[in-house]
């Protein structure tokens, strides 16, 4: 064994033989890049779709599930956020001509395609499944989370697995590792040992400098990570997003401390306690400004808020609006979402954690944020419910904040810039590797081609 053979053996990836299918045998409704991705995912057996919002992940996962169910002659389960289950079963599946049964009251599984939400998983016998799809699989990002552990255990022996989520943050590589762990490609602990080093200064793991390209090469063997069909070499002239016009509505907030508890001017801190206190203080004036924007014409508006107080005030100032909160029944949430999509509801008020992930609201092109949190992901995902492929109009986004909350906006914008810069840096490392891997052309390390004989015991 020479040195190159030794390295190849050490870097050998876990290979799985899945379903070989002619691309022309896939559903004709799919775009060319979607067919190519589904074909790749079926062949790999266990795969991740890291795709930007609006790329059609739902149609791809439905076609993948249909092909797996046909090949294995076993049922395939899609697990999705609560609001997405009805959308997938009653809106997306019929586009492909497939039937997807929603598991809500009865959990009897025979054959075919099924869907349920993450909260109902404990009611299902997963041992009978031929495959599973995790929709909005970013739920796996928490390394020690109970949900991640529960999902991994429930589908440990499931033969075919597919994870679908928006492209992960480049600075949150743990999300990538946990997906690989769920798929059974490599455990999180092993991946950390192979590619990462424990940074004592920051108390976190970071990629080893010399392992960066090998890490992304490894990721490309079990996932696809794209923002646009062009990332895979497809021309995709049809994939065009409309103009996005973002406006910040900043309200002047008085900082005089009427109680004189802290002197003449009250101190606005950035701690969690101060953050929530200030949001409550400015909630009324922010809700009034949101109402003024939503009432100035007869178009549809999607209004995002973060607290029940904000929701109550928005409903007070916009009586015609429909407000959906966490305590509502699944049936009401589904019906309210459907009514908004069909134009029966002009103004919908909700929270990102309820309707902010996976929902398609692109028939509406006006969105209002009644304040923000420090989570850039929540903001980005909530915006992408309407600013996505399929949107036909210019999108108008309004962020309504008080002057005492500007540090929140600044933090979100910094995270946005960091995401953009890191994503570009990652693309430089990934793009060529991913293209070659997708075309099934071997990617080799640039090693000196010298033959070095190793002792027989190695």
Residue 216 — very low, low, confident or very high, per pLDDT cuts 50/70/90?
A: confident
Read out DSSP for 362-431?
Answer: TT--EEEEES--S-HHHHHHHHTTTSSTT--S-EEEEEEEEGGGHHHHHHHHHHHHHHHHHHHHHHHHHH
Tell me how long the chain is: 458
- pLDDT, one tens digit per residue, over 62-80 is 999 999 999 999 999 999 9
- Residue 23 has a CB neighbour count (10 Å cut-off) of 12
Q: Which residues contact 282 (CB under 8 A, 6 or more apart)?
A: 251, 253, 371, 401, 402, 404, 405
- pLDDT, one tens digit per residue, over 244-299 is 999 999 999 886 655 545 544 566 666 667 788 888 999 999 999 999 999 999 99
The DSSP bridge partners found for residue 198 are: 205
pLDDT, averaged across the chain: 85
E-assigned strand segments in 81-130: 100-102, 113-117
- Residue 145 has a pLDDT of 72
Alpha-carbon distance of 188 to 61, in angstroms, equals 25
pLDDT over 70 for what percent of the chain?
Answer: 83
- Residue 441 has a pLDDT of 52
Of 176 and 349, more confident = 349
In the predicted model, is pLDDT for residue 203 greater than 70? Answer: no
Domains in the chain, please, with CATH? 3-238 (3.40.50.10810), 244-412 (3.40.50.300)
- pLDDT, one tens digit per residue, over 387-436 is 988 899 999 999 999 999 998 999 999 888 877 776 666 555 566 777 77
* Averaged pLDDT, 363-383: 93
Handedness of CA 157, 71, 24, 88 (dihedral sign): negative
- Residue 266 has a CB neighbour count (10 Å cut-off) of 20
- Structure tokens, 286: 């922010």
Alpha-carbon distance of 440 to 229, in angstroms, equals 18
Residue 12 — very low, low, confident or very high, per pLDDT cuts 50/70/90?
A: very low
| Distances from the Cα of 362 to the Cα of 300, 340, 359, 366, 384, angstroms | 11, 11, 9, 9, 9
In the predicted model, is pLDDT for residue 442 greater than 50? Answer: no
- pLDDT, one tens digit per residue, over 114-154 is 999 988 888 999 999 999 999 988 887 765 578 788 899 99
The DSSP bridge partners found for residue 367 are: 302, 397
Residue 5 — very low, low, confident or very high, per pLDDT cuts 50/70/90?
A: low
Nearest-CA neighbor of 363 among 388, 399, 397, 333? 388
Q: Please give the model's pTM, rounded to 2 decimal places.
A: 0.82
322-323/196-199 β-pairing:
unpaired
- Residue 256 has a pLDDT of 63
Q: Which helix (H) or strand (E) holds 97?
A: none
* Averaged pLDDT, 211-229: 85
């Amino acid at each position: 064994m020479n040195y190159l053979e030794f390295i190849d053996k050490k870097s050998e990836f876990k290979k799985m033989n899945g379903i070989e299918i002619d691309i022309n045998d896939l559903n004709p409704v799919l775009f060319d890049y979607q067919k190519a991705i589904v074909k790749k995912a079926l062949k790999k057996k266990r795969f991740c779709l890291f795709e930007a919002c609006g790329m059609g992940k739902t149609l791809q996962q439905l076609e993948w599930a249909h092909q797996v169910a046909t090949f294995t002659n076993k049922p395939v389960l899609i697990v999705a956020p609560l609001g997405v289950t009805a959308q997938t079963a009653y809106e997306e599946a019929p586009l492909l001509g497939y039937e997807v049964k929603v598991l809500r009251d009865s959990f009897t599984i025979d054959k075919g395609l099924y869907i349920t939400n993450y909260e109902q998983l404990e009611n299902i016998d997963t041992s009978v499944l031929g495959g599973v799809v995790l929709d909005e699989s970013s739920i796996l990002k928490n390394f020690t989370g109970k949900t991640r552990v529960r999902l991994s255990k429930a589908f440990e022996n499931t033969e075919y697995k597919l994870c679908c989520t928006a492209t992960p943050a480049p600075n949150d590589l743990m999300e990538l590792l946990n997906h690989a762990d769920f798929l059974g490609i490599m455990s999180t602990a092993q991946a950390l040992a192979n590619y990462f080093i424990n940074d004592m200064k920051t108390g976190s793991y970071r990629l080893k400098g010399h392992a960066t390209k090998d890490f992304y090469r490894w990721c490309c063997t079990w996932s696809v990570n794209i923002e646009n069909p062009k990332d895979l070499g497809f021309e995709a002239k049809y994939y065009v997003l409309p103009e996005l016009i973002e406006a910040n509505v900043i309200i002047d907030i008085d900082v005089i401390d009427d109680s004189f508890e802290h002197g003449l001017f009250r101190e606005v801190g950035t701690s969690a306690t101060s953050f929530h206190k200030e949001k409550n203080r400015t909630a009324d004036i922010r809700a009034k400004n949101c109402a003024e924007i939503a009432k100035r014409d007869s178009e549809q508006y999607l209004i995002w808020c973060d607290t029940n107080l904000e929701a109550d005030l928005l409903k007070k100032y916009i009586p015609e609006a429909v407000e959906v909160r966490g305590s509502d029944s699944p049936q009401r949430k589904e019906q309210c979402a459907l009514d908004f999509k069909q134009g029966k509801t002009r103004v919908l008020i909700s929270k990102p954690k309820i309707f902010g992930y996976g929902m398609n609201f692109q028939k509406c092109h006006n969105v209002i944020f009644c304040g923000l949190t420090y989570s850039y992901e929540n903001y980005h995902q909530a915006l992408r419910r309407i600013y996505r492929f399929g949107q036909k109009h210019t999108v108008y986004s309004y962020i309504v904040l008080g002057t005492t909350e500007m540090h929140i906006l600044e933090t979100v914008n910094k995270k946005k810039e960091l995401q953009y810069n890191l994503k570009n840096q990652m693309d430089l490392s990934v793009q060529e590797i991913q293209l070659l891997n997708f075309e099934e052309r071997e990617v080799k390390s640039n090693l000196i081609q010298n033959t070095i004989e190793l002792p027989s015991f190695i």
